[in-house]
Amino acid sequence: MMNQQTSDLIPITLLTGFMGSGKTTVLNHLISQPELSDALVIVNEFGEIGLDHLLVAHSTEIPVAQMNSGCMCCTIRSDLVKTLRDITWRFSRQGKRQFARVVIETTGLADPAPIINTIMTNQQISSKYKLDGIVTVVDMVNGADTLAKHNEAVKQIALADILLLTKTDLVNEAGCTALEEQLGEINAFAPRLT
């Protein structure tokens, strides 16, 4: 049974995946669902000029906060803490918070471990938020090459609670099977959804 203090924490879902995997497309689909009508989305950008927040659909009432001071894994200790601390008052009306959950879309270059560590161990954050799950988007066309060249992609898959397989219609069955076997070696426990 969940105690009152745990049930009052705001759940955070971490949406990761390497560049080009389809995170923003998945995010746009998710925020159009009624189940996420009470979500606040934090889009992390890499570089001086962020673009992903421009690609996130704004047709709903879902607020979007942008972090663009660099890769979330590099600035996690200050930026993420400040953002999560400030959104409770920045996105409130008449003293009432306007969201019940948070979805963080990380940059494709993000190592999710420092993000997870901050959410779970930083007292300012862990007293208000709880990590609800880690969803990693995997590009089935370029996934094997990405895993061979980028350790961040391996970490994203290893720490995932769910793997979302994208672009499955663009790859042959042998390529899909080989990559799924590799995914199973990295993370045997995460369910895979297409």
Chain segment 77-136, per-residue pLDDT in tens: 577 888 888 887 677 777 777 788 999 998 888 888 988 998 999 998 999 999 999 999
The two most distant CA atoms of the chain are separated, in Å, by 56
53 pLDDT band (50/70/90 cuts)? very low
User: 179: how many CB neighbours lie within 10 A of its CB?
Assistant: 23
pLDDT reported for residue 5 = 59
Contacts of 111 (CB under 8 A, 6+ apart): 73, 152, 155, 156
- Give yes or no for residue 72 having a pLDDT over 80: no
> Which pTM value belongs to this model?
0.82
Contact 20, 108 (CB under 8 A): yes
